[in-house]
Amino acid sequence: MQRFDVHAHAVPAGTDAASQRAAQALMRQEGFAGSIPGAGWSVDGALRFMDDQSIALQLLSTPGALDAEQARKWNDRTAEIVAAYPDRFGLLAALPMAEPERAVEEIRYAIDRLHADGFAVATNYDGVYFGDGRFEAVFAELDRHRLPLFVHPALPPAFDRLGLGRPGPLIEYPMDMARTIVDAIFAGVLLRHRDLRLVLAHAGGVLPTLQDRIALLARESWVANPLRLSSEQLTEQLGALYLDTAIGGGPAGIVPAVQMVGVDHLVFGTDYPPAGADTIADTSKNLRTTLDRAAQQQLEATFTRLFPSAAGRAAASGT
């Protein structure tokens, strides 16, 4: 098992009536059947899971698109957990991207006050994707600080029609990851911000399997390409991405991922606790079968390069 986990969620659930109503509303919105994935997260439960799986440290994030007040509350609360267990957890601070000025403020607050290891955002905010100019100031600020940005998928607009009665994580999450990154690269986001390091959840969703199609069709006159980017410029941006392995450890996920970004741009992720113990175990088994030993070791080296402070805290404690 890998020692560093880039993809883990801390979503403490309330037991009051308002929290229960919110949980039921989330189930209806996301199309979950029976229960909410990851409900009942706790520090003790996470530590037990990590010890069982020989994981030294998890980076904690929240999977949702939060507003400014929600993001600040979650960041403050999770920073307290990290402060109590600095050798076991790290903070990927949530950014309220729908409010760009507040998002820039949150970046500075999370760095100066919370000592965040990086940041986390959703793939869209009320149907606005990464190529939209409203996000430019946020990407510029992240570029300046050179801290990684973890990207987690979210529901697309009109999910009530697209989902076909199945939950977002099954199909639409992987689609929305490709949707927002394609929007970003056609806008030239990663050409303008060379130190912006995006870490995409779930091996980039369906994006790696579309890489050739995107590069080839971009040159066709009927594909909107306002910056007139070449196939090479689009491919360059795709190759600059980082991808985690959560629910993507088998050949169908890893082989196209390696073809797009190289093995040195992969990091290990579990998606604990939503993925569930059996899914995480099978993903890890598939990963060990798909990647040779050198490539598996590279996952840890890449994490250390992206998140040196978090890796250093774990190493200093001997975990």
Q: Strands across the sheet with 57-61, in order?
A: 4-9, 57-61, 89-94, 118-122, 149-152, 198-200, 242-244, 266-267
Torsion angle (degrees, nearest 10) of CA 75, 76, 81, 84: 140
Distance CA 276, CA 159 (A): 24
Distance CA 66, CA 80 (A): 19
Domain boundaries, the chain: 4-317
- Answer whether CATH 1.10.357.10 is correct for domain 4-317: no
Distance CA 240, CA 195 (A): 10
C-alpha dihedral sign at 71, 76, 80, 85: positive
Q: What is the pLDDT of residue 165?
A: 83
Q: What is the pLDDT of residue 30?
A: 59
On whether the CB atoms of residues 307 and 91 are closer than 8 A, the answer is no
Q: Is 32 helix (H, G, I), strand (E, B) or coil?
A: coil
Contacts 24+ apart (CB under 8 A), 34-39: 37/169, 37/273, 37/274, 37/275, 37/276, 38/9, 38/11, 38/272, 38/273, 38/274, 39/11, 39/13
Token match 């579990």: residue? 270
Q: What is the pLDDT of residue 214?
A: 96
Token match 């793939």: residue? 123
**pLDDT by residue, tens only, the chain of 319 residues:** 689 999 999 986 554 454 445 445 544 555 555 555 666 789 999 999 999 999 999 999 998 899 999 999 999 999 999 999 999 999 999 999 999 999 999 999 999 999 999 999 999 999 999 999 999 999 999 999 999 999 999 999 988 888 888 888 889 999 999 999 999 999 999 999 999 999 999 999 999 999 999 999 999 999 999 999 999 999 999 999 999 999 998 899 999 999 999 999 999 999 999 998 899 999 999 999 999 999 999 999 999 999 999 999 999 877 6
